[in-house]
Structure 1
Amino acid sequence: MATLVEAAAQVFSREGMAATTNRIAERAGLSIGTLYQYFPDKGALLHAVAARHVLHSDARLTALFERLRATAPPFEDTMDQVLRELVDLHADHPRLHALLHRVAMTAADLEEMRIFEDRICAEVAYHLKRCDRGTEEDPELTARSIVALVDAQLHRVMPDHGYDIEQLRLTVAHLAPARPAAPADPPPPAG
């Protein structure tokens, strides 16, 4: 089954929704009958590719978040590592990830994605608070805004224009600027 899912990822990446089960079976080196034993149609294959991507992304991001909590680097370094990981997870097959984002989600997938995104937002909010970044009033809202904008760039903008980490950094810097230092107390009057 893993062979079919990998073949589906490759064919969808090249052909988009024009991909056929025949092409996927051919790419996997299996008969169409074997494909249909596991997947009733190309939609089920696309769903399996999406599920694999989410599981892989979750594992890598979880490991990264654990390292970041343990090492507590400055905010720019923290977000740079997160953004680099996200780009690395998407840049290899940009057309496929755009397709997965637009087509492969069922209602159950949407709930799983909401939970996944909530975890990412919680981690970003943690680092916003830890590093005293963003708005003091609602770091969770700032985190959600960062995650939503980065997600939109990764899945809707960058697949067609290239993955530009600097653009992602600018998004984060705009939403989570360093807070100005508190004004120093004036010196006591001379005399």
Structure 2
Amino acid sequence: MTSDKRRLQPRKQPRQVRAELTRQRILTAAAHVFTEYGYAAGTTNRIAERARISIGSLYQYYPNKDAILVELLVRHLDAGVSGLARGEETGPPGSLEEVVRLYVRTAIENHHDDPQLLRVMMEQAPRSHTLLEKISRYEQERVAYLRELFDRHPQVRVGDTETAARLAVSTVELVVHQLIAAPDPIDIPRFENELVAMLTRYLTATG
């Protein structure tokens, strides 16, 4: 476990602005390389070349491309959490449809920037124990967030809000990932509307 953890972690955390900028260049370059070449052909040499640094400099920050891909996935998860937090800061939406739309739109926006990179991250990123724990916490936070909203909202009719929250989180994450990352493009506004309508009908159904 220890060797696996070291293999998938950055080698050093930048303390100076210049070092942080170099790490950002590596991550940005890696995102482009993985998108263009895929994971198998997205070598550290190609990443270093795209970042305009030596391969030795890259290895000062990351031991291999697995660690780079894991960090890209972690940042993707963190962006999703931040997006939900920004929505909370604006205050709770009014209708249940607005509650669901905020959640769905946040998920779509977090997945829509680079669907090809998203496919690589989700399907090929190594699953370290630390990363699996982070994904689990990420899901638990979303379930808790939606359950609290469902418990308080007068339009919600489902009896088991815990199960409803888990279903909503799983449905949105899986469907958004699959359709946004699919090779054939989908009409985003129509997709958002249909997913919001489906979840809203489920949550407000009686009997």
Of 11-20 and 30-39, more deviation after overlay is shown by: 11-20
Match of 1:189 in 2: none
Q: Which has the larger radius of gyration?
A: 1
How big is the alpha-carbon RMSD for the aligned residues of Structure 1 and Structure 2?
1.9
Match of 2:149 in 1: 127
Match of 2:46 in 1: 23
Match of 1:55 in 2: 78
Match of 2:120 in 1: 99
**Are 2:113 and 1:86 equivalent residues in the alignment?**
no
Counterpart of 1:130 in structure 2: which amino acid? R
Conserved? CA contact 1:98–1:159, under 8 Å: yes
Q: Offset of 1:46 from its aligned partner?
A: 0.3
**Alignment counterpart, residue 11 of structure 1, candidates 23, 33, 43:** 33
CA distance in 1 between counterparts of 2:76 and 2:203 reads 28
TM-score (norm: length of structure 1): 0.83
CA distance in 2 between counterparts of 1:121 and 1:134 reads 17
CA distance in 2 between counterparts of 1:14 and 1:144 reads 35
**Alignment counterpart, residue 195 of structure 2, candidates 168, 182, 191:** 168
Structure 1 residues 96 and 171, CA, compared in 2 at 3 Å: closer, same or farther?
A: farther
**Alignment counterpart, residue 149 of structure 1, candidates 135, 159, 171:** 171
The alignment covers a number of residue pairs equal to 177
Conserved? CA contact 1:21–1:41, under 8 Å: yes
**Are 2:137 and 1:110 equivalent residues in the alignment?**
no
Structure 2: runs of 5 or more not aligned? 1-22
CA distance in 2 between counterparts of 1:134 and 1:22 reads 55
Structure 1 stretches of 4+ with a deviation exceeding 3 A read none
Task: Please list the CA deviations of residues 162-186 of structure 1 after superposition, one character each: whole Å capped at 9, or x if unmatched.
Answer: 3421342244134323548xxxxxx
CA distance in 1 between counterparts of 2:143 and 2:157 reads 13
Counterpart of 1:91 in structure 2: which amino acid? H
Structure 1 residues 8 and 173, CA, compared in 2 at 3 Å: closer, same or farther?
A: same
**Residue 176 of structure 1: SS of its match in structure 2?**
helix
**Residue 204 of structure 2: SS of its match in structure 1?**
coil
Counterpart of 2:169 in structure 1: which amino acid? V
